[in-house]
A and B are shown apart, each in its own frame.
Chain A
Amino acid sequence: MSRTAPVRGLRQSMDWLHGWVGIVFGWLIFAIALTGTASVFKGEIGDWMRPEVTAPADPDAALITGLRWLATHAGRALAWYVTAPDTRTATPFAMLQPDPAGDYVSWALDPASGSPHGIRDTLGGEFFYRFHFELELPYPWGRYLASLAGMALLVAILSGIVTHRRIFADFFTLRSGKGKRSWLDAHNLLGVLPLPFHLMISLTGVLMLITLTLPWSTMLAYRHDPAAADAELFPGVIVRERANRPAPLADPAAMVVEARRRFGGAPIGRITVENPGDAAAVVTVWQHDAAQIAYNEAWITFDGSSGRTIGFHAEQRPAMSTYNVLYGLHMGRFGDTVTRWLYFLCGLALSATIATGLLLWSVGRADIRDWPHGAVARLTVGAIAGLMLAAAGFLWANRLLPATIEARPIWEVRAFFLLWAAALMHGVVRPPRAGWREALGANALAWGLLPLVSALTVGRGLLAGAAAGDGLFVVADLVFLALAALSAAAAWRMTRPATARPARRAAA
């Protein structure tokens, strides 16, 4: 291995590792980080994508109305999984198979009527959230790949810390107009200042999928009986066979009131109903994750036909509590508005750290003109600017696709992937600098015109919203315009001649 130095120091090894992990996993980690960042506002994105819902919802009332509607209209389903609306999401969601032989659907239920009719069919923010850890791949492969990317991110962060010689000396340093040095400053600053967040989010992300990546201890302890493991994980959750005797569901309002009492007033997060309409129906009500940092803090189970309480659990087990807190930290559902925005900003910083790292790899080697370096430089354009453009296209499709079109949510997702594929191809075909300029320019147009397109198609937006106190639509438009301005500024910089001189290979 040694060319000149007889012994490779730890720092050189870590530098080598940091570079290779970054170049192999960088594009994937960027996509996961950016969609995860968008997922911080999953509920808000969903509300923006369903502009028909305007009524502010009382969470409990909307939940009860939704359950009553499902009882009359979706009685054949084997189970309903209903997510409650909250202070940041206007509608309850129901996941179910309306026809037991058919596909799963996800309905947003109108908070006033409980019905999904009249609301445009869309995945909303759920698309970014699912992509974040499933990558649109079949189960369990997407989760495996996302978990691998999370481990790679952890390796990249730790090796980056070892490699970075001047964490404290360069803590505030950002020098402009120095080519590679400036990119390195930005990369270091974005990586170091939110470092606690970066470490927390990558570690907890890997831990969330740990039962998938390290299943053997569970297999050994429970002798390949996953039901027994589930029963111990979730005591008080009752699993019953279908009785095949029809029985109406007891009044959900009474169950909601009882659950709120047992939760000490904390709000309800979701309700699952197994075997609805059957004598063996079971209703489980889960406490909302905003009430504490930990995830899945408490739940209560009712007999579906009588409404009697048959199980209750509030988490007291130290190991579970620790895991749930780590899980909850990653989800960030406990956060108030300030904490949410900090999660969002830290997530953007993480995405930008990866993007600048990928750029450094090609900028720092601008003098090397072999095909691998060219290929990396070109693919990076589509992987970064192309993904942002695809996200804008997803939102455009939500506004422009007719409401009656068959499989509407699938077409929105197709718009996302078609645009991303086109941007990747564009990046490969064009020289990197021109590619960046054009892709960033397209981003500026796509995000900049989105408020206009939205205002013309649905009539809610910055101007109408500012007058009517429609906070969500005002902030959404401001975020879109900020993204447009950033893209335009970056595209404009790319029109100026390159200042990057081929620097000697400096240790990061």
Chain B
Amino acid sequence: MSAAASWLLAFAGFAALSLAMHRHARDARFGPERIGGFALRRTCGWALLAASLAAALAGPRWSFALVAWIGLLGAAAASVALLLWRRPTWLPRAGVGAAVAGLLLLLGR
């Protein structure tokens, strides 16, 4: 199911990108010792978004998949925003979980 993998990877990517921002890292209770990971999280975030695109385009009809992927990106970013709003401390683990699940789905195709 390429849509599921694509959404999971986009969610993980946006989670990493948001945790590379001071405000959200603070909301997720990241201590000062983890501030140094900002650049790494940003790189991981963009890489995961690229993987999400790859997962979307892996299907038979790339034109349909591209339209759906743009919508999935919005849905994934909104999910990150909602989690940051209600349960910000869950976000790091949810992001890692989504990345693992998404990559497994992508590679297990």
Contacts and interface: CB of A to CB of B under 8 A. Distances in A.
Contacts of B104: none
Contacts of A176: 85
B107 to A, nearest CB: 21
B71 A172 contact: no
Given A197-B70, A197-B74, A346-B71, A174 B64 contact: no
A21 interface: no
A196 B63 contact: no
Given A334-B64, A338-B3, A339-B64, A172 B70 contact: no
Contacts of B14: 172
Given A172-B77, A173-B23, A293-B63, A343 B71 contact: yes
Contact of B80 (A172, A197, A345): A172
Contacts of A171: 18, 77, 81
A342 B71 contact: yes
Interface string B1-37: 0010000000000100010010110000000000000
Contact of B68 (A193, A194, A292, A335): A335
Size range of the chain B interface in the assembly: 20 to 34
A338 B68 contact: yes
B71 A174 contact: no
A324 to B, nearest CB: 13
A329 interface: yes
Nearest to A339: B68
A52 interface: no
Interface of B: 3, 14, 18, 21, 23-24, 63-64, 67-68, 70-75, 77-78, 80-82, 84-85
Interface of A: 169, 171-176, 189, 193-197, 292-293, 329, 334-336, 338-339, 342-343, 345-346, 349
Given A172-B24, A334-B64, 16 more contacts: A169-B21, A171-B81, A172-B18, A172-B77, A174-B84, A174-B85, A189-B81, A292-B63, A293-B67, A329-B67, A335-B68, A338-B72, A339-B64, A339-B71, A342-B72, A346-B74
